[in-house]
Amino acid sequence: MSLVINHNLMAQNAARNLQTSYSNLGTSVERLSSGLRINSASDDAAGLAIRELMRADIASLNQGVRNAQDAVSMIQTADGALQIIDEKLIRMKELATQASTGTYNSDQRLIIDSEYQAMASEITRIASATDFNGIHLLNGNLSGDFTGAGLVSSGEMKVHFGAGNDSAEDYYYVRIGDSTASALGVGIGAGPDAAGASISTQELAQASLNALNDAIISKDKIRANLGSLQNRLENTITNLQVQAENLQASESRISDVDVATEMTEFVRQQILSQSATAMLSQANSLPRMATQLLG
């Protein structure tokens, strides 16, 4: 290389190397301070796209877990109310059995029937009053076909827990039958011709026993269906949590920085920057050698 004074090529080369190592040092500082290997699209364009899709799925899965947990709470609310209705039906059958025997007169049966009707009214009240977040559960509102086109959905409840909109993978429906006294066929509200409408006579009391059995079976079917749905939801929650955990691990491998490896790179770039700075200082002093020849 010639000894010239118009251009300091060695200094330019040292400056370029310093700029490169200093830029790499800044990248290492950014990664170590953020904990992320990918801080912008320029770091890894394909990795960034995959990471953001994974983050969206992870957020959806975590929300799906909360949706399923809310559905479990709703089912537990409905089942708790049905347990109380169960107690009322058992008491009604006890009263019907009492009124079926011939040792009571008509006045006494009317007294027994008044409690019977009170139990039926209480069943209807419980079924009408039981709600979860303003959604009535036992009055038959959740027994029809699902319609979600309007601002307020109707029919069976759609529990959405997946990251997509596939009926086989991302949601299913919770259907709860009507548990009012009239729907169960007991009490005066069921109509005068219903077998379980009244126990005011011995004949009506005897006929109501079968109607009460049917009512208890209908109620038990609702509870059994809710129990199976709760078990299914709890299994779904576990599966979603495992999915989210595994997806989070995959996202971490793409996005997070390996601190040990990056710290090694940081020290390397730091040494290179220091070395380039020292050489740049030396290169800037080299043109002075030419002035010695001129003297």
In this predicted model, what pLDDT tens digit does every residue of 192-213 receive, in sequence order?
888 999 999 999 999 999 999 9
Instruction: Compute CA 23 distance to the chain's CA centroid, rounded to the nearest angstrom.
Output: 43
Distances (CA, A) of 266 to 39, 66, 165: 16, 42, 45
**Average of per-residue pLDDT values in the chain:** 89
What pLDDT does residue 68 have? 95
What pLDDT does residue 77 have? 96
In this predicted model, what pLDDT tens digit does every residue of 94-133 receive, in sequence order?
999 999 999 999 999 999 999 999 999 999 999 999 999 9
> Distance (Å, rounded) from C-alpha 27 to C-alpha 36?
11
8-state DSSP, 167: T
- pLDDT of 223 over the 90 cut: yes
Q: What confidence tier does 34 reach under pLDDT thresholds 50, 70, 90?
A: confident
What pLDDT does residue 42 have? 79
- pLDDT of 139 over the 80 cut: yes
Residue with the larger pLDDT of the pair 19 and 291: 19
Contacts within 8 Å (CB) and 24+ apart, 237-244: 237/65, 237/68, 237/69, 237/72, 240/61, 240/64, 240/65, 240/68, 240/161, 241/65, 243/61, 244/58, 244/61, 244/62, 244/65
Q: What confidence tier does 38 reach under pLDDT thresholds 50, 70, 90?
A: confident
In this predicted model, what pLDDT tens digit does every residue of 150-177 receive, in sequence order?
888 888 999 999 888 888 888 989 999 9
In this predicted model, what pLDDT tens digit does every residue of 241-272 receive, in sequence order?
999 999 999 988 888 888 888 888 888 888 88
- pLDDT of 76 over the 90 cut: yes
55: closest CA among 285, 250, 259, 194? 250
pTM over 0.85: no
- Both tokens of 273, joined, read 């920057």
